[in-house]
Amino acid sequence: MRRRTILIPIVAVVAVGALAGIGAIAWSASSNDSGATRAVSTAQATPTPTPTVDPFPRRPLTTATRYVALGDSFAAGMGGGKEAGRCVMSDNAYPDVFAAAAGIDLVTNAACSGATTADLLKRQLPPLDEKTDLVTVSVGGNDLGVATIAADCAAGKSVPCRNELSSALSLLNVLPDRLDSVYTAIAKAAPNARIVVTGYALLYDASDPTASDFGVAAAINAATIGLNEVIRDAVDAERAQGMPITFVDVDFDGHGIGTKKPWVNTTGYTAFHPTAAGYKEYSRELIRRLGTAVD
């Protein structure tokens, strides 16, 4: 998992530079770009070995596929509209949209807004059993407090923003162990299931100058990129050990904050969460990876 070791310092430089607004950091990052690129290329040249047989079988979905969704607000559908209940769930959550579009049986969506990896382990595993065929999971963001970071940074609360981001960057180093515990527990509770881990879409559009400059947007995007890379590497490590698990990235490029038709809520208690259109994109990515049900 060498790629994560190299990526985290790069993300930290971008994020700290964004918050501090220091031109010297920007110059240093630019002048050292070729060196960083060589370092990342070297790390990626020796990836985690994968088994000869792909542990994530390419079997088709069927109308009898039993599907369970786990995770945080991104799996619960917060921001999708008509949210209800303690877990702030929406019928427009990507598990519901995906199950309907794919034609499979969503046994339950056990996700809950605000859930951390510890919460998932304590409360969300009971629906899993040996009859479960498919599990999706979106978790890790609340361990780092990404939603709070986004809200405070966007609101101009510089001190909380800086402190929370610093804490999140340090937690990136302990998150892999937490994710390992989650994925291992899921595999044990649902021994016959394939596990699909979804990433977090960037909140700010990559084409927006403020998202690529050293500002709040860049800091938030940098934190999200770091989170996604840690999750992806954790999945790769499990897969290399034979677990039937895969990572699905979700791209809101062209529809992030700062575009004409953002797929991200920007106001209210659902701010910085996908809209119903954003959750449809999550569903589309899952269908691209898994297909739709066949009889």
Q: Where are the alpha helices (DSSP H) in 77-206?
A: 94-102, 117-123, 141-144, 146-154, 158-171, 175-189
Structure tokens at 203: 């909140």
Tell me how many degrees the CA angle 223-144-37 measures, rounded to the nearest 5. Answer: 30
What distances in angstroms separate CA 43 from CA 49, 177, 234, one per listed residue? 13, 21, 15
Please say if 273 is a catalytic residue: yes
Query: If 0-12 CB within 10 Å is exposed, 13-18 middle and 19+ buried, where does residue 29 land?
Result: middle
Please say if 255 is a catalytic residue: no
Q: Which residues contact 171 (CB under 8 A, 6 or more apart)?
A: 143, 144
Cα of first residue to Cα of last residue in the chain, in angstroms, is 40
Question: Which of 90, 138, 255, 273 is labelled catalytic?
Answer: 273
Question: Which of 73, 90, 113, 138 is labelled catalytic?
Answer: 73
Q: Which residues contact 274 (CB under 8 A, 6 or more apart)?
A: 74, 79, 80, 201, 252, 263, 264, 265, 281, 282
Structure tokens at 11: 């993300």
Kindly list the catalytic residues: 73, 273
